[in-house]
Amino acid sequence: METITSGSKWGIRIGSSPAAVLFEFPLPDDITQWPSGAPDAATIHVGDPVSGIYAKLLAIYQLPGYGGYRIILPDKPLDKTFDPDMTTYGEWGFSIATVVSSEVRGLYTVRLYFDGGKLAKIWYQYNEGVVYN
């Protein structure tokens, strides 16, 4: 654990106003598809209809690099059938936890934004952290 009281960290300067912190904070770029390099049936694209996203999440889970991951939609386990009411939500969020090594864990945080029944934006962030025992 580290406490910073002067200088800066990640491009954020100590003493900045809340508005400046929001402006300075390094946010990830929006992307048009996720994950990259996967077959189309297992790739979520901007413009995909919301009714097809669940099937693509299941397909992503079957990819060799993602099989051991745990994809969680809050209050919506992926082993349950698609709930048509999910088409009324403007945003879906989920996380995928990974084991990078015996000492490092990774976490993908993904947000899918819908507009007019179509996927309008994909936002994701990946972080790794050291596990201390």
pLDDT tens string, the chain, 133 residues long: the values are: 455 566 666 566 666 665 565 555 555 566 788 888 888 999 989 888 888 888 888 898 888 777 666 665 555 555 566 667 777 778 877 777 888 898 898 888 888 787 887 778 878 788 898 887 6
CA gap 61, 86 in Å, rounded:
19
CA gap 34, 102 in Å, rounded:
27
CA gap 102, 128 in Å, rounded:
12
- What is the dihedral angle through the alpha carbons of 33, 51, 111, 45, rounded to the nearest 10 degrees? 10
Whether a cis peptide bond, with omega within 30° of 0, leads into 64 is no
pLDDT of residue 43: 92
pLDDT of residue 1: 40
pLDDT of residue 9: 63
pTM to 2 decimal places: 0.45
- CB of 33 within 8 A of CB of 112? no
- CB of 69 within 8 A of CB of 90? no
Q: Residue 10: exposed, middle, or buried by beta-carbon count in 10 A (0-12, 13-18, 19+)?
A: exposed
Taking the chain, what is the end-to-end CA distance rounded to the nearest angstrom?
13
